[in-house]
A and B are shown apart, each in its own frame.
Chain A
């Protein structure tokens, strides 16, 4: 089955620790995205990647970092510099950096205490 997987589903960390969220897709999509969702709010774009070895900041990139070494993988690191890291994180992909449909993973809920 083609799709996007995110792991883990739930993640708990202590304040001050970096944590990496996994996102893998087997849709052969060039573009991938990371969004953050807070309760009662829409999604906000953190980072996106149009192609392997390239990525751009979204609207709320501060305190986050990404890499895109393989087409199918786009991990997100939440660093200790992110002031309010507790949130629901969603990964998405699309066939290209074009205005086409985006496909979303099931999300990772990160709780930092």
Chain B
């Protein structure tokens, strides 16, 4: 059974710092991996989707990498801002599941001004 783990569970950094969030998964047979942002009490916003054949995706200050064989992904946030404060969730689509996502527990990020 696929399991997704995110480390750390919480992270607090000063504004302007570059930071890395980690996601690991136990079964490398995946179609893709997605990173989501969730603000308190709100739904999820998709940030980046990496197909299994890709190594990385970039959007603005965000860069996500995928090492499928080792079961790891990182989300790099450059020059963090207080508005980046949120919970970041990663999710994989296992090859056996069609469209069903398996989520990690999330990393709660606080960027202090």
Interface 1/0 per residue, A43-74 and B, CB below 8 Å: 11100101000000010000000000000000
Interface locus among B14-22, B40-48, B60-68, B77-85? B40-48
Q: Counting CB contacts under 8 A, is A97 at the interface? A: yes
Find chain A residues with CB under 8 A from B41 CB: 88, 107, 109
Say yes or no: A104-B44 contact (C-beta < 8 A), given A41-B105, A42-B105, A99-B32.
Answer: yes
Contact, CB under 8 Å: B99 / A40? no
How many residues does chain A have at the interface if contact means C-beta atoms less than 8 Å apart? 30
Find chain A residues with CB under 8 A from B103 CB: 42-44
What DSSP secondary structure best describes chain B's contact surface?
Answer: strand
Q: Which chain B residue lies CB-closest to A98?
A: B99
Residue from the list A4, A43, A103 in contact with B46, Cβ < 8 A: A103
Contact, CB under 8 Å: B105 / A48? no
CA distance in complex: A98, B9 (Å)? 30
Find chain B residues with CB under 8 A from A41 CB: 105-106
Residue from the list A31, A42, A99 in contact with B106, Cβ < 8 A: A42
Q: Which 9 A-B pairs have the closest CB atoms?
A: A42-B103, A99-B31, A99-B93, A104-B43, A104-B44, A43-B103, A106-B43, A42-B105, A97-B99
Contact surface of B with A, Cβ cutoff 8 Å = 4, 9, 31-32, 34, 36, 41-46, 49, 89, 91, 93, 98-101, 103-106
Contact surface of A with B, Cβ cutoff 8 Å = 4, 6, 31, 33, 40-45, 48, 50, 58, 88, 90, 92, 94, 96-107, 109
